[in-house]
Amino acid sequence: MDGAVWPECFAQISDRIMDVFFRFGEGVTESSPEPQKLFKLLEMSAAAVRLRPAIFLLFDDAAPDISSRFRELQKLLVQAASRAFSALEILTDPSPPPPDASVPGVVRYIVNFLKCLVSEAYAPAMAHVLRTESLWKAGFLSRPEPDGSLLREALARVLEALQQIVEAKRDRYRDRVAAQLFAMNSYWYMYMRTRGSELAKIVGEEDMKKEYKAATEEAAYAYQVEAWAPVVRLLQVEAGRETGEVAWVVARGKFEAFVREMEEGFKRHRLGGYKIPEKDLREQIREAVVGMVVPAYAGFLHTYSVALQGRVFPPPDALKEKFGRLFDGGGGLVKAREVADPEPVPEEVDTPGGVRLRARRRMELIRSRDAAERGFFSPDEI
């Protein structure tokens, strides 16, 4: 074949074949920018980078239009990938917050999305997209930022946007107890699922720990204040101000109010179906709540020990056990008959005032423990 004819034939044949290739790639880049499309776009962009030397070698001289169109396709892929990633930064979630205060799907989605993005399979392609976009904006004569800095800043922006989503959902709760549990669960998930990961290494392990663990602790404290601080305030006493029958009336009034608030708190948790899915977090919160409420109850019994001599009150350990049942399983969904398992009644039991209860008092103790099955305990059993 004549040397002048062959390049023209090659160009015409190649143009038809490559046109299918280009139209497919261009069609992908023209679709709506959605985060879930980012990985496919990065795969295509990485493939284009690998193909570039061969494409230019084949077509730069024989079919320069193909080389030019390939360059344009690379540009479109970078732009499309950049738009898909940017969609994460403005992502919103209009769905209502979980009624059980569990971690919402959007938090799980974004955390796992970013962990996948920084994996060896996608991180180089994402860094290439960010570097190219940065050069386009700043000009090719400018000094580009290191790839690591560009990727770190981009990931940090998405994580900041995720925090805004969590806070927006937190504000939508009418139930403030659920709101604090929701924030606590969400931030703990973000901390634990990124700890020690490549994502944390890039963004900054200590920075993420400081941000999300601190946010978890803040929400956990707010939960304790919302749910149990009002109960503790009911038990605040000033020793020695009342004596005799007056002290007994005051003690009974405080105790009845305490019982009502306690049962209301347990009922709220039971009906709300609140969940703390992470076992280690659930155990920490249980210990914190027990440490907040049980010593206050024990102090109340001690302060009014003289006024309460000869009368039966469930011991602090009974309250501690009920909190254990509330938090076991994450949601506190405990059947009424599971609230308290009566222990064998001893022959003698010490009251807070030190008075010994003998056999004639055992029936009163049994009635008190039966009441624990209906609730924590009943004021009528005092």
Tokens at 15, concatenated? 């143009």
Inter-residue contact 312 to 364 (CB < 8 Å): yes
Place of tokens 């969904």: 333
Which helix (H) or strand (E) element contains residue 316? helix 316-327
Three-state DSSP at 328 gives coil
Residues 218-244: tens digit of each pLDDT: 999 999 999 999 999 988 866 555 556
The contacts of residue 141 (CB under 8 Å, 6+ apart) are none
* Chain center to CA of 43: 30
User: If we measure between CA atoms, which residue out of 36, 47, 108 comes closest to residue 73?
Assistant: 47
Q: Is this structure's pTM higher than 0.85?
A: no
d(CA 316, CA 297): 7
pLDDT for position 33? 87
The contacts of residue 317 (CB under 8 Å, 6+ apart) are none
- Provide mean pLDDT across the span 66-87: 93
pLDDT for position 372? 43
The contacts of residue 348 (CB under 8 Å, 6+ apart) are 356, 357, 358
The contacts of residue 382 (CB under 8 Å, 6+ apart) are 252, 255, 311, 312, 313
pLDDT for position 9? 75
Angle subtended by helix axes 147-171 and 176-194, to nearest 10: 160
pLDDT band at 373 (very low <50, low <70, confident <90, very high): very low
